[in-house]
Amino acid sequence: MSRTHTLLRTAQVLLVGAFLFCSQVQAATPAIGGYSPVSYFTKNKAELGSEKFQAEYKDQTYYLTSPEQVALFNGNPAHYVPHYGAFCAFSLTEGKKMAIDPTNFKVVGSMLLLFHKSAELDGRSKWNQSGDQQALLKKADAGFKLLEF
């Protein structure tokens, strides 16, 4: 990967992170940087949603790709939203909160986990290298609870 590509990728991650944190302040900004939470489950890919297909859940606006996705989301929104919100699941295992890259994800059971990705850290790769999923989830849950206060 060239240095220019790395810098551009880092800038993209920072911009997405900024959008995600701003979404907590401004309801008009979509959650997950505009990516459809349903696509992670139904297509196993990160897919940008559309402003035309929106759904609200817990003061967040989610963009989806179709009326069918809106219906799926509204039928069980808690199932589709990221398990740790706008925080990297791996960084939570280390007691840190790092912004996520919505294209860096993993579905574990019925949970959507999002991860940070930059030249310094690929959270999903670290998660996958760490082994025991259940132990990681317990550590991430504990880190998330600590950061909620």
| Digit-coded pLDDT (tens) for 15-37 | 555 555 544 444 579 999 999 99
Tell me the C-alpha distance between 21 and 24, whole Å: 6
pLDDT of residue 9: 58
pLDDT band at 4 (very low <50, low <70, confident <90, very high): low
Least confident among 2-6, 36-40, 91-95: 2-6
User: What is the pLDDT at residue 12?
Assistant: 56
Is 129 in contact with 90 (CB distance < 8 Å)?
A: no
Q: What CA–CA distance (Å, rounded) separates 66 from 64?
A: 6
In what helix (H) or strand (E) does residue 146 lie, and over which residues does it extend? Answer: helix 133-148
Rounded to the nearest integer, the mean pLDDT of the chain is 86
Task: For residues 34-51, give the mean pLDDT.
Answer: 98
| 105 touches 111 (CB < 8 A) | no
Please report the pLDDT score of residue 23 as a whole number.
46
Q: What share of the chain is helix, strand, coil (3-state, %, to 5)?
A: 50, 20, 30
Closest of 33, 17, 19 to residue 88, by C-alpha: 17
| Per-residue model confidence (pLDDT) at position 24 | 45
* Residue 10 per-residue DSSP state: H
Confidence (pTM): 0.78
